[in-house]
Structure 1
Amino acid sequence: MSAGPPPYSRTKFAGDLLFTSGHIGRRTDGTLDEGIVEQTRQTLENLEASLVDVGLNRNDIVRATVYLSDMSLWSEMNIPYREFFDTQLPARSAVCVGLPAGILIEIDAVALRDTNESSAAL
């Protein structure tokens, strides 16, 4: 018997805020790279694909939470993270959690649909 679709939404709007579920670095073919740099890049690409599906993009992200399997991965994770966001860095928290085998990172985010409002860093 198939388990069916997962019991959650990838994205959910609440007014102009979009909340995403956690994204990991699994490719569409089900494979997963071993390194944190590669997994972070793929995780961010997967996150952006969910945003694009609802008409948003990476620049609309105002907050992100990064879940790492080991905090020693922090510095390496920041390399592709900084490349992805360039100069428009969202607010962010990072925590160490237990993740399923082989998964080094998971990221969820909050994005703002209406970017006409000022979202400059204070």
Structure 2
Amino acid sequence: MKFVISENAPKPVGPYSHAVVVENFVFVSGQIPMRKNGEIPEKFEERVEAVIENVRAILNEVGLDLENVVKVTVYLKDLSKFNEFNEVYEKYFKKKPARVVVGVSELPKGVDIEMEVVAFRS
């Protein structure tokens, strides 16, 4: 088992690793739309992009990319943004991993989106 902290993603906002590698699986902790400098983009589309880019940076740290993702969990504070989220998501995920989107009332740092993934090294 390997615990991963990436220098290319924002520092975790709590006591956890960016990811944990177990054999061929990589479990990426929930990522919020915070950039490395701590900034949170204003536009929803940019926040979705920031979340996905954070996930990508962490996967790259262990030699993987988004095409290795097999499961995605998304937390949205406003489910009316579901279609807007999907428009951005589809640009990044050409293969369609298993996915769930959950409506929530609160997220860390007051953000409106968080994403966690499971990736597989084949």
User: Could you tell me the TM-score, scaled by structure 2's length?
Assistant: 0.84
SS in 2 for 1:41: helix
Task: List structure 1 segments (4+ residues) > 2 angstroms apart after TM superposition.
Answer: none
Rounded to whole Å, the distance in 1 between the matches of 2:77 and 2:58 is: 23
Q: Mark the structure with the bigger radius of gyration.
A: 1
Give the equivalent residue in structure 1 for 2:53: 45
Q: Return the letter of the residue paired with 1:28.
A: K
Coordinate RMSD, CA, aligned: 1.4
User: Could you tell me the TM-score, scaled by structure 1's length?
Assistant: 0.84
Q: Which has the higher strand share?
A: 2
Change (3 A) 1:62 1:22: same
Rounded to whole Å, the distance in 1 between the matches of 2:107 and 2:59 is: 23
**Identity across the alignment (%):** 39
Structure 1 window deviating more from structure 2 (48-57 vs 99-108): it is 99-108
What is the CA-CA distance between 1:101 and the residue it aligns to? 5.2
Rounded to whole Å, the distance in 1 between the matches of 2:44 and 2:77 is: 10
* Corresponding pairs, count: 109
Rounded to whole Å, the distance in 2 between the matches of 1:26 and 1:101 is: 9
1:90 aligns with 2:97: yes
Q: Deviations over 1:67-102 (max 9, x none)?
A: 00111111111111000112x111100001121454
1:105 aligns with 2:105: no
Give the equivalent residue in structure 1 for 2:15: 7
1:61 aligns with 2:69: yes
Structure 1 window deviating more from structure 2 (92-101 vs 18-27): it is 92-101
Give the equivalent residue in structure 2 for 1:120: none
Unaligned runs of 5+ in 2: 1-12
